[in-house]
Amino acid sequence: MNFKLPIFDVKNLSFTVNGINILSNVSLQIFNSQYIAIIGPNGGGKTTLVRLLLGLEKPSSGNIKLYGKKISQFKEWYKIGYVPQRAAHVDANFPATVLDIVKMGRTAQRKVLSSMSTRDEKLVVESMEQMDITHLKDKMVGTLSGGQRQRVMIARALASEPEVLILDEPNTGVDVASQNRFYSLLRKLNKERKITIIFITHDIGVIADDIARLFTVNQKVITCNNPKQALSCDEMSDLYGIEAHLIHNHKHGH
C-alpha cells in the first residue's frame, strides 16, 4: 500500500524550546485508515508531536506534510478531527448545550450566513447517535460526567466527517466501563468507516489488540509496525525508560 500518499509525512523533525530538545530528528509516515497509538512517558513529547502535526506549534527544523501539502498550504482541515487532552475539562460556566458543541463540528464547513443545511443537521444527529449522547442533547456540557463529555467532544469531531481522528489521552478521569465502551467505538470507526485513528495514551495494554502501529515517543520516536511483538523490543523499553508491559490477547469489555 506504500504507493499511496501518506496523510502525515514527517521528515527530520526537531523541536527545541529554550535550548532543550523536546523532539529530535523524528521521521514518520501515517497512512489512511491506520490505527496508531502514540505512547511514551509524561514529558516525552507525545502531545508536542501531535501539536506539530496539527500546525499548532512550529518545528525548529525539518518538515511536515499533510496529504502531500506543506502545513501552511493545507486547507482541508475538516478532514482532521482533533480532541485535545483538556477537552474533558470544559469550563463549567461556558454556555453550551451538548447540541451547541456538536454543531461546532459543522461550523468550519458551513457557508457564511447560512443556517444548518439538512445535511449538516443529519451529520450532527448521526454523530450524537453514534456516541450515544442523543438523550443528553439539551443538557449543559458543564453538568456532564467525564465520560459523557468525552463522547460529546468526539461527536463534535465526527460531525465534520473527518478522515483522521486524533485523540490526546481522552480517557483521563473516565471510569473503566466507559473506557472499554470507548475503545470498542474507536475500533468500529476504524474498521467500518476507515477513519485513521491516532491515539495518545500511556495505557497501551488496553488497546494493544487493535492497534496496527505504535509510535513510542521519548525525544526520539521509534515505530513498531507489529505492536504485539513490539514490547519485546529492547530498544523500546529503553526509550520508555521503564520496563514496558503489554498483555497479549488481552480481551476487554465485551
Partner 1 sequence: MVEMLSYDFMQRAFLAGIIIATLASISGTFVVLKRYSMISETLAHSALVGVAVGLVAGYNPLWIAVLVALFSAWLIEYLRSNFTIYSDAVLAIMLSGSLALAVIIVSLGGSFNNSLMSYLFGSILSVSYEDVITIFVFGFIALAILLTFSKEFYFIAYDEEIAKVSGIKVKLLNFLLVSVVAIIIALSIRIVGTLLIGALMVIPTVSALQYKFGFFKTTILALIFALISVVLGMSISYHFSLPSGATIVLSVLVIFIFSLIINKKS
Least Å distance, CB 111 to partner 1, is: 11
Residue 138 or 234: the one with the smaller Cβ distance to partner 1 is: 138
Residue 67 or 78: the one with the smaller Cβ distance to partner 1 is: 78
CB atoms < 10 A from the CB of 96, how many? 17
Q: How far apart are CA 37 and CA 91, in angstroms?
A: 28
Decide if residue 175 touches partner 1 (CB under 8 A).
no
Scan residues 17-76 and list those touching partner 1 (CB under 8 A): 54-56, 75-76
Considering only 33, 41, 77, 202, the residue that binds partner 1 (CB under 8 A) is 77
Residue 101 or 204: the one with the smaller Cβ distance to partner 1 is: 101
Q: Which residue has the cell 529530535?
A: 24
Q: Which residue has the cell 502501529?
A: 213
Residue 159 or 174: the one with the smaller Cβ distance to partner 1 is: 159
Question: CA-based angle 140:146:150, to the nearest 5?
Answer: 85
Scan residues 92-131 and list those touching partner 1 (CB under 8 A): 93-97, 99-101, 103-105, 107-110, 112-113
Considering only 22, 80, 136, 195, the residue that binds partner 1 (CB under 8 A) is 80
Torsion sign (Cα): 55, 61, 66, 72: positive
Q: How far apart are CA 40 and CA 47, in angstroms?
A: 10
The per-residue DSSP string of 49-69 comes to HHHHHTTSS--SEEEEEETTE
Binding stretches for partner 1 (CB under 8 A): 54-56, 75-78, 80, 82, 84, 87, 93-97, 99-101, 103-105, 107-110, 112-113, 138, 140, 142, 160
